Amino acid sequence: MNITTTGIIGAGQMGGGIAHVCALAGYDVLLHDISTETLQSALATINGNMARQVKKGRISEEDRDQALKRITTADTLADFGRCDIVLEAVTEDEAVKRDLYAQLCPHLPPATLIASNTSSLSITRLAAATDRPGKFMGAHFMNPVPLMELVELIRGIATEDATYEIVEGFVKTLGKRPVKVEDFPAFIVNRVLMPMINEAIYALYEGVGTVEAIDTAMRLGAHHPMGPLELADFIGLDTCLSVMQTLYEGLADSKYRPCPLLVKYVEAGWLGRKTGRGFYDYRGETPVPSR
């Protein structure tokens, strides 16, 4: 199968980043989101990020201009009928994803592949909600997509060998390094990363240290580029909670219990950078700890 046109559903951080790398790799990109505002914001972000790549000498001005021309927006899911592969990057909510597939699949030719960017959900269950389980798999990109090299590739129980091979080859053309992962809750990266973040939140919850102390300790003591609480804000606290709940429910192990403080922040709508408040307050010129 020769992939020339990629469809991307969801124009948030992940969907916009995937559109960015696909367009730079020479693919025609169709980008859709239920929010017109989110879609326009994604296009502006892609433009700005590519401009920074030009400034740093990573791509040429011509590369940027050609890539931007390859990205078009789609008003409806019916427009995705011309896509060879559709990459789903909507919110990390299984019900939302299943509903999307029910609306999307009737518009796709039988040969079109679907790859979900889910960071934790069962690929086998998601595939069963489509009309093409054999042509469905997980392709979990890392955030920020233009900078991070890894893509976790996850097969469901019904995923065909040809599907995996095509998606693996496609990911390599984006300049990414694919890693094969089995279909277990949260896969590899989030199964290791999210419990660490959750434990840092417990340390804050129990008064072991302040936000600043915990992040400073992990930056200087473990040479992490970001402290775990700063990283949680960057990822989105709602996403962190969703992954921890998936681990807790999927593996039935108490060590994955989400910290009550994480739950409280999400209930308050303090989701991190995207809402202006999380473990840090981003509403001023410089982020300051929120507690």
Catalytic center residues: 119, 140, 152, 190
Is residue 240 within 8 Å of residue 92, measured between CB atoms?
A: no
Q: What DSSP state is assigned to residue 3?
A: -
Q: Are 218 and 228 in contact (CB under 8 A)?
A: yes
Q: Report the greatest alpha carbon distance in the chain.
A: 56
Amino acid making up residue 90: V
CA distances for 192 relative to 14, 156, 195, 226, 264, angstroms: 20, 21, 6, 16, 23
Report angle CA 278, 281, 286 to the nearest 5 degrees: 140
Tell me if residue 210 falls in helix, strand or coil: coil
Structure tokens at 139: 């392709």
Structure tokens at 1: 């199968």
Q: Nearest to residue 138, comparing CAs of 194, 97, 80? A: 97
Q: Which two tokens stand for residue 41?
A: 């914001």
Total H helices, total E strands in the chain: 11, 10
Residue 216: both structure tokens together: 């400073």
Least Cα distance to 224 among 193, 178, 202 occurs for: 193
Q: Is 253 left (phi over 0), alpha (psi -120 to 50) or beta?
A: beta
What's the Cα-to-Cα distance from 95 to each of 121, 126, 192, rounded to whole Å? Answer: 11, 9, 25
